[in-house]
Structures are given as structure tokens and as C-alpha cells.
């Protein structure tokens, strides 16, 4: 799923559940970074479409790099948007958000694409492929995003009212 918004659906659900302990911006940044390698392959015709970047080893490295760069990029964006109440993004939040982003990317693409080798270099098989149909995978991503948006606002509202009353 190169450059698809479907990956953000599960991230919206995680954001709803973890609220300020999760950065959707850092998560989304990790999703973009994950697909740089496939983009280069699509543009050049050279290499393995879902290569090293779509393994858990690669996702770990990409997640760590995305945490380092995404923390600063997200904080810059939040400052530019005047969203100071979300600043700063802590290192644990940046790290967990980026790793959740990169690992979920491998899982989702592993279900959809036969050429993903999630456990490479230890195991070259993709036991995730076809776990559910592509249609069901897209529905899961879409519905988790819709549920996440609804839950985010409901939980945020509940937390605000609880803080006012407390």
C-alpha cells in the first residue's frame, strides 16, 4: 500500500486510546518514511519493491530514525499551527509512535503483498500474506479510523469534563 491513507486508520484508533501518549504526526511520518524505498524502486525499476524497509529489522531502524526526525518535524508543525498545548513531544512518545507506525506498516503490507518478507533475514516466508482479503484489510483500516475519530473526540470530551469537575 504505498502512500495510502489506509495506514493512518489504525493510527487514529491508537491515538484515541492513548491520547497524549501517542503522536499521530510522528506515526504518519513513519508511514511515509517506510514507503521511500518502494517509491525509489517504482521510479527506477531497480530493486525489490518491498525490500529491507518492509522487514521488522528494517522497520526497527526506520522507526528509530523516524522518531528522531519526526519529533522535531512534528513539533515544528505544531508550533506553526499554534498548537502549543501538544508541545513538547516526549522522546518516549516519539519513539513508541514511530515504532508502532513502522511495525504496523509491515503487518498491513505483509497481509496485502506477497513479496513482503517480514522476518527476513531469519525467515524468507510471508505467513501474513492473504491472512484476510484485501477488501477486508481495507475495511479494517477504514473502520478503525472512523472508530478512532469518534473515540478520540468522545474520550477528549470526557477527560475535559472530568478535569473541570475535579
Geometric angle at alpha carbon 18, from 37 and 5, rounded to 5°: 35
Residue-level pLDDT at 65:
98
CB atoms within 10 A of CB 33: 21
**pLDDT above 50: residue 1:** no
Which of the four pLDDT bands, split at 50, 70 and 90, describes residue 50? very high
What average pLDDT is seen over the chain?
93
pLDDT, mean of residues 105-134: 94
Task: Answer yes or no: pTM beyond 0.85.
Answer: yes
118 three-class SS: coil
Grid cell of 82 as nine digits: 499554534
**pLDDT above 80: residue 98:** yes
Which of the four pLDDT bands, split at 50, 70 and 90, describes residue 166? low
Tally the residues of the chain: 166
Taking only the tens place, the pLDDT of each residue in 18-32 is 999 999 999 999 999
**pLDDT above 60: residue 3:** no
Amino acid at each position: 500500500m504505498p502512500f495510502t491513507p489506509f495506514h493512518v486508520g489504525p493510527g487514529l484508533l491508537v491515538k484515541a486510546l492513548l491520547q497524549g501518549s501517542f503522536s499521530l504526526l510522528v506515526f504518519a511520518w513513519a508511514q511515509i518514511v517506510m514507503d521511500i524505498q518502494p517509491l525509489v524502486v517504482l521510479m527506477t525499476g531497480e530493486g525489490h519493491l518491498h525490500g529491507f524497509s518492509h522487514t521488522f529489522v528494517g522497520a526497527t531502524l526506520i522507526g528509530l530514525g523516524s522518531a528522531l526526525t519526526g519529533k522535531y518535524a512534528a513539533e515544528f508543525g505544531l508550533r506553526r499551527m499554534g498548537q502549543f498545548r501538544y508541545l513538547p513531544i516526549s522522546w518516549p512518545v516519539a519513539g513508541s509512535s514511530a515504532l508502532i507506525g513502522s511495525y504496523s506498516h509491515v503487518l498491513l503490507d505483509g497481509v496485502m503483498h506477497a513479496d513482503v518478507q517480514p522476518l527476513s533475514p531469519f525467515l524468507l516466508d510471508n505467513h501474513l500474506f492473504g491472512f484476510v482479503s484485501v477488501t477486508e484489510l481495507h475495511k479494517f483500516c477504514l473502520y478503525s479510523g472512523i472508530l478512532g475519530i469518534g473515540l478520540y473526540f468522545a474520550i477528549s470530551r470526557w477527560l475535559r469534563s472530568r478535569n473541570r469537575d475535579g
